[in-house]
Chain A
Amino acid sequence: MKIIVCIKQVPNTTEIKIDPITNTLKRDGVPSIINPDDKTAIEAALQLKEKYGATVTVITMGPTQAEKALREALAMGADEAFLLTDRAFAGSDTLATSTIIAAAIKKLGADIVFCGRQAIDGDTAQVGPQISEHLGIPQITYAAAIDYDAERGALIVKRQFEDRYQTLEVKGQCLITILSTLDKPRYMNVWDIVGQDEKEIGIITFNDIEVDPETIGLKGSPTKVKSTATKQFDKTIETLELDPETAAKTIVDALKSRHLI
């Protein structure tokens, strides 16, 4: 079983600054982490590897700094890592991003692809399903639990909805997007990370993959960010320090005056 885990490096905060002229993110000085859902996806892949035997490959598309995320994944126990990086990839929306990642997966070959459900910066949750469509393989999103039925050669996945869950079975190739609630990612110590320096990180550029240049980067992105704005609050506010009894009375009075009781 060959598993590829797609991980994204994200800023360790949602308090970001936007360059007002280029509408791009200012990332300087903000520490980066592996996107939380993706870290759980690595954990899920490692668990399958430990139980049933598998190779785990992590890939990320991003600038050269994203190598740090790959090192961390290797330290957790991933077998190999690839960085997808090229100036031609810059400015991609989710469709263009998924086109590039799918082309890399095709080149590397995989039985199972894991993604996080959603990246905490872009927040779209679109890249996973789009990759699976490009690859022509089935998708299962919102995975809350995963197991493998070795006898039947099938993955059994708990698929979460707001008001229900499904238990799904899938045979053959597939892509699964993983919720961070599935499990806690394992800890690794500093020495694990240091030890990884011997492992090579593969580099994949535009020339290494088969992809139509018209479908990637800014030019290949059907969506365009037209403008951005940060948020303001305007509310009438009253904050009172009250004992619990008076507090309860005040709340009841307020609800009554609004005809809610």
Chain B
Amino acid sequence: MAKNIWVFCEQRDGEIQNVALELLGVARELAEKTGEKVGAILLGHNIKGKAADLIAYGADEVHVVDDERLGMFVTEPYAQAVTQIAKEHTPSVILFGATSIGRDLAPRLSARLKTGLTADCTKLEMDEEGNLFMTRPAFGGNLFATIICPDHRPQMSTVRPGVMKKLDRDDFRKGEVVEENIAWDESKFSVTVLEEVAECQTCGQIENAKLLVSCGRGVKDVAPARELALKLGGSVASSRALVDAGVMDHGCQVGQTGKTVRPQAYLAFGISGAIQHLAGMEESEFIVAVNTDKNAPIFKVANLGIVADAAAVLKNLNKILQ
């Protein structure tokens, strides 16, 4: 019988991604409900050493595949590894981060394992029988749907980064590390990576920033916003309008098709507050909005809304904080 709550623990360049730790946190909560174990899948090259971190953040067992074929993310080798481990250990649930890796890999696996997959969840609950209730926004965040997968195992979902809470690190936690051997079918490896290029050094990891200075189409020059972010020890973020315009990097985009952020303060300059943008930031602790249009929807979620010219306010902020 299918048992245990598993997390696909995403790593990039050998660094465990925050979303993996967040998912271990929620997996722990779900597992308490049914008395099951939390399992982690860790794939990569020279990655074994990171298994202890996953235990410290809540995993009872870590299934590791340390192999040069898994150095950079490519769908097929990753899919083969997860499929073989999942078939052997039959977990009841597998959670993935709703990132450009998780949302590539998880649907491939759902078709291979012939089970359901719920996209981009923001809430997960479990009943005593081990049925997972997966809640997700759809239709640009106008609607929340709760989805179940009653007759198929594993129950799979991708979960939005920044929504679940990770546990405090506990280096005294005990867990088991299992090294898995994969029987590779290399005849299926038909995609080759010619190059991999890092982008977006300037915006930092916006999901981890305490404070964000976020710019929309109403900001003509983003340099003063970058200056302000630096002064306040935060990062810059952006609406999709400026990403589409090529002014800001996609890695800085907040919203439904960007990142979900929950900083202590979110300062929105010249952002109208489209529902797709709000979906990524409305959970922020404190929201300040500056916009020339007093009817802009962003004011409906702002704790402090100011009707004024964004450029002029940015200039004055930089002056005061000199």
Inter-subunit contact B142/A248 (CB<8 Å): no
Which of A130, A166, A221, A222 has the largest number of chain B CB atoms within 10 A?
A222
Q: Is the CB of A132 within 8 A of B308?
A: no
Query: Which residue, A170, A235, A248, A251, has most C-beta atoms of chain B within 10 A?
Result: A248
Stretch at the interface among A14-22, A51-59, A196-204: A14-22
Q: List chain A positions with a Cβ less than 8 A from chain B.
A: 14-16, 18, 93-95, 98, 118, 120-130, 132-134, 138-142, 156, 160-172, 174, 181, 221-231, 233, 235-245, 247-252, 254-255, 258, 260-261
Residue B118 interfacial (CB < 8 Å)? yes
Q: Are B250 and A160 in contact (CB under 8 A)?
A: yes
Which one, A15, A138, A236, A251, contacts B191 given CB within 8 A? A138
Instruction: Judge whether B247 is part of the interface by a CB distance below 8 angstroms.
Output: no
Roughly how many angstroms separate A120 CA and B101 CA in the complex, as a whole number? 20
Contact B317 A123 (CB under 8 A): no
A164-B265 CB under 8 A given contacts A126-B117, A140-B191, A244-B313: no
A226 touches B232 (CB 8 A): no
Q: Give residues 123-152 of B contacting A (CB, 8 Å).
A: 133, 137-152
A238 → B minimal CB distance (Å): 6
Known: A167-B195, A252-B321. A224 touches B147 (CB 8 A): yes
- The verdict on B99 contacting chain A, using a C-beta distance below 8 Å, is yes
- CB A6 to nearest CB in B, in angstroms, measures 14
Which of B99, B100, B144, B319 meets A231, CB within 8 Å?
A: B144
B267 within 8 A of A: yes
Number of A-B contacts (CB under 8 A): 261
Instruction: Select from chain A the residue with minimum beta-carbon distance to B153.
Output: A222
Is B177 an interface residue when CB atoms closer than 8 A count as contact? no
User: Across the interface, do A241 and B190 meet the contact criterion of CB distance under 8 Å?
Assistant: no
In the complex, the answer to whether A16 meets B142 with C-beta atoms within 8 Å is yes
A172 touches B288 (CB 8 A): no
Q: Which of B29-37, B49-57, B167-175, B298-306 contacts A (4 or more CB under 8 A)?
A: B298-306
Known pairs A123-B138, A133-B111; A168 contacts B192 (CB<8 A): yes
Partner of A126, one of B76, B119, B193: B119
Q: How many chain-B residues does the 8 Å CB contact rule pick out? A: 93
Question: Complex Cα distance A133/B259, Å?
Answer: 27
- B141 touching A231, Cβ below 8 Å: yes
- Least CB distance from B260 to A in Å reads 12
Q: Are A133 and B112 touching (Cβ within 8 A)?
A: yes
Binds A, one of B59-67, B85-93, B197-205, B214-222: B197-205
Min C-beta distance of A230 to chain B, whole Å: 6
Q: Which residues in A have their C-beta under 8 angstroms from that of B303?
A: 235-238
Whether the Cβ atoms of B120 and A124 lie closer than 8 Å is: yes
A-B contact pairs, 30 of them (CB 8 A): A18-B143, A94-B110, A95-B117, A123-B119, A126-B117, A139-B108, A140-B75, A141-B103, A141-B104, A156-B194, A160-B100, A162-B99, A164-B197, A169-B192, A221-B116, A222-B149, A223-B116, A226-B133, A226-B146, A235-B300, A237-B299, A239-B305, A240-B307, A244-B308, A247-B290, A248-B317, A251-B304, A258-B265, A260-B210, A261-B321
